[in-house]
Structure 1
Amino acid sequence: MAGLNYNHLRYFWAVAREGNLTRTAEKLLVSQSALSIQIKKLETQLGHDLFERTGRQLLLTEAGRIAFDHAETIFAGGAELLATLNGRREERRSILRVGALATLSRNFQIGFLRPLLSRENVEVIVRSGTTAYLLQSLEAHRLDVVLVNVAPPRDAATPWISHPIAEQPVSLIGTPARIGKGGTLASLLTREPLVLPTMESSVRIGFDALIDRMGLRVRVAAEVDDMAMMRLLAREDIGVAVVPPIVVKDELASGLLVEVHQLPQLSETFFAVTLKRRFPNPLLRALLEPDAAGEWLE
């Protein structure tokens, strides 16, 4: 096999970074057709299409994302060579692109990513958004993994692989002044105003079913779709929050909040969603392998 043509690779790299063939051609002072020819030659040599067109957009294929990551490393290596010879040492870094549901517990996210966050040569890029946006980005190879608390539907058109990575119990949590004296679960639920997840949450669905089974009427102080906001409302003593303890683990450790009752048969499951790929990001193994379990929620 002939050696890789680095001119072709640089042209591809420039287009991938710009996302537009016309603008890249203008910046490189070459014709658009010449640029297309160089990229086509690279695709022929590699044996894979590197781009797919969506309207006027150029999107990287899976092979394109792999090629782009290698090109980033290669051309960063050139910059590193110059820096080294000029007395400035820079290390190469591997990259993992993570998408996280905007409402997901930050404590959980940090715990899940901790095995990589401690590595000096690894850069973790975290994007937040809705489940639909994140899954679209995963399918477009802009993300390597997506963290959610509800497994997305799987079918032939969208073959997501949902890895259940942790399950957390759900508890009643509030300030010591509000619930420090305790009481039965039923008495607390009927006596205190509650801070609940919104109706779309799997935790809320389970909580409503629990209340129905117990035959109780409760008073809702707030419905919130963001775990960080639930944490703040609990700290401000707006009411008793129905949350997994990991959401408020720092406040529990300091005594600012207390956990009074674990709700029976109610839990929140966290999933790492990936797609089956020919070239998976090797950094994922450190997060998804079985012996990493238990570290995510510490």
Structure 2
Amino acid sequence: MLLNYHHLRLFHAVAHAGSLTRASENLNLSQSSLSVQVQKLEQQLGHALFERLGKRMNLTEAGRIALDYADTVFSTGDELVSVLKGRPQIAQSILRVGALTTLSRNFQLEFLRPLIGRPEVELVVRSGTMRELLAQLEAHAIDVVLSTMAVRRDAGSLLHSHLLDEQPVSLVGRPRADYADFRFPTDLNTVPVVVPSLDSDVRTAFDRVLSLAGVHPLISAEVDDMAMLRLLARESGGLTLVPPIVVQDELQTGVLVEVCRIAEVTERFYAIMQTRRFPNPLLAELMQSRSPVPGAP
């Protein structure tokens, strides 16, 4: 079967335009003619490439794969011209990653490190709420969502969560001599502490530990953003409840010290993916590069 590259070019235009109307205006073709050509490509490939929702043309999983290949095909043509003109380019594969706005940047960096700096790889990282990112994942606009929360499995869902890591949570603070005698949890009755917001599983577990001990902590701030938590840990005169990976640079340089590691509280990091017939090989590479987490499914 020989691929019709004219049909592929028209599909490429519609996919990037997002609608037949806009694409037909850009190409100076009628919508009906353009629709017929795209349908012929779908018949040739044996897969629907679009979900037609009113005037919108949303890519299916097969459509997203086809668009990635189409981008490569037509960028290769541009590369050919550049090479012959003495300006060589490198073809790239793309991995699209969604990350919760509250997720540690250091953890994101560690997860993506195997792909960073590789000239043949383009990384697209988007931040958002869980609802926004899962909607993008289901629409095949991103390949994976990085989160500290797992998705609920049910029979009708194609989404599943992979536990990437489970890390300890500590109380950290600026170096002070009296921290050598710090007693957890009783000293939290008088030492101010910065904590994650009530939406956090870490906060829930922390509150449970203190409640069982009869301790009422002196909370100086509650934040739901790890970047802000890191800044407050550096600026606050008290302690901050945080996974050490969030402040690893400060711990290494001595700006902060780990005062107490809380064994009963951990932070979990998940990769949320959708079951696909055509998984992104870059994502598979990242998942294979990680060591199995003890007790993970």
How far apart are residue 190 of structure 1 and its match? 1.7
CA shift for structure 1 position 292: 2.3
Would you say the 8 A contact 1:286–1:292 is kept in 2?
A: no
1:111 equivalent in structure 2: 110
How much has 1:238 moved relative to structure 2? 4.6
Looking at structure 2, the residues matched to 9 and 40 of structure 1 have their Cα atoms a distance apart, in angstroms, of 11
Instruction: State the alpha-carbon separation in 2 of the partners of residues 195 and 8 from structure 1.
Output: 58
In structure 1, runs of 5+ residues without a counterpart are: none
The farther-off stretch of 254-263 and 170-179 is 170-179
Question: Deviation per CA, 1:54-81, whole angstroms, max 9, x where unpaired?
Answer: 3432110000000000000000000000
Distance across 1 between alignment mates of 2:100 and 2:178: 31
Partner deviation per Cα, 1:258-287 (whole Å, 9 max, x = no partner): 001111211001000111100000011221
Number of residues paired by the alignment? 293
Q: TM-score, normalized by length of structure 1?
A: 0.95
Deviates more, 1:269-278 or 1:175-184: 175-184
CA contact (8 A) 1:178 1:237 kept: no
| Secondary structure class of the residue paired with 2:113 | helix
Partner of 2:192: 193
Q: Does the Cα contact within 8 Å between 1:179 and 1:260 map onto a contact in 2?
A: no
Say whether 1:293 aligns with 2:291. Answer: yes
**1:116: how far off?**
0.7
* Shift in CA distance, 180/28, structure 1 to aligned 2, threshold 3 Å: same
Kindly provide the CA deviation profile for residues 214-234 of structure 1, in whole angstroms up to 9, marking residues without a partner as x: 110111111100000000011
* 3-state SS, counterpart of residue 141 of structure 1: coil
CA contact (8 A) 2:194 2:220 kept: yes
Q: Specify the SS of the correspondent of 1:280.
A: coil
2:82 match: secondary structure: helix
The residue that corresponds to 2:34 in the other structure is: 35
Q: What is the CA–CA distance in structure 1 between the aligned matches of 2:94 and 2:271, rounded to whole Å?
A: 17
Cα distance in 2 for residues equivalent to 1:205 and 1:58? 42
For residues 160-175 of structure 1, the aligned pairs below 5 Å read 160-175=159-174
* Aligned-residue offset at 1:96: 0.2
What corresponds to 2:176 in structure 1? 177
TM-score with structure 2 setting the length = 0.95
Moved more, 174-183 or 163-172: 174-183
C-alpha RMSD of matched pairs (Å): 1.5
In structure 1, what is the Cα distance between the partners aligned to 2:129 and 2:178?
Answer: 34
String of CA shifts for 1:134-161, please: whole Å, max 9, x gaps: 0110000001011000101111232312
Identity in percent:
53
Contact in 1 for aligned 2:195/2:240 (Cα 8 Å): yes
Do the aligned partners of 1:164 and 1:272 also contact (CA within 8 Å) in 2?
yes
Q: Which moved more, 1:204-213 or 1:231-240?
A: 231-240
